[in-house]
Structure 1
Amino acid sequence: MTDIPDNVKDRIRTYAQGEWPDDFEMQRHIIEKQVAAFQTLETHRAQWATDPSISPLFDLAASEWPNDYEMELHTFQKQLEATQRLANYTADDVPTAIFEKIKLKAIQEWPNDHEMILHTMETQLTAWREVQKF
């Protein structure tokens, strides 16, 4: 654990002790999981630091889970997956103007949350298709 900054160690230790105050085996387990998640996040940060569409996802994940690196990593990975899906998202059966309007509205509603943008778009596109069948 020598490559983990002291302030991060303190956060992880405090989190583990708060979750399992009298169970040292669980504290150790939490510490191991949190350290692994922190290290994976650091690897992702190094990989994606210069990508302007990806780097804000770290802030989103950290703000949602300020004391839990495992959940922060999970959130980042889900956001990254959504970002990659959004980059190639098409709906050939929907007129371009409708698609763009749905996309713009989703981005306005969820400006930094790519997972929710994707969810909103999919929900709206499905609803649009159903309305057209009516």
Structure 2
Amino acid sequence: MRIGELATHTGSSVRALRHYEHAGVLSSVRQDNGYRWFTPEDIARVRLIRMFVSVGFTLDEIRRFAPCWQEGRGPEDPVDAEVAPEFYRRKLADIDAQLRDLQIIRARLTAQLGELTLAGSTCASHPKGLP
């Protein structure tokens, strides 16, 4: 599929896909006419890239460690010698912090929705805000 089709399937911009390719986390085959050609598997790859970026991974981290996260790899597969346990510990701590923040936000939104539903009011008429 061409880059525009991949963008449509993944919700990414063409510019982002070109950036991913330049960063080495995505690859394509150039056709004779110069167009980039992607495989259907690249849809899942781009979604995985976007998911990791959304939780704070850099493209360099994704490029270095993504082979370990590819589907089909099992625990018996060798891991790159550069993969440091400290990296995983730090990323897990970052994700745990994000989960705590998301739980706080979720609780506040749930409480706000309950209050709005009971009062029949809108957020604008409700003076409580975030701390």
Q: TM-score normalized by structure 1?
A: 0.28
Higher CA-based Rg: 2
Q: TM-score normalized by structure 2?
A: 0.29
Which is richer in helix? Answer: 1
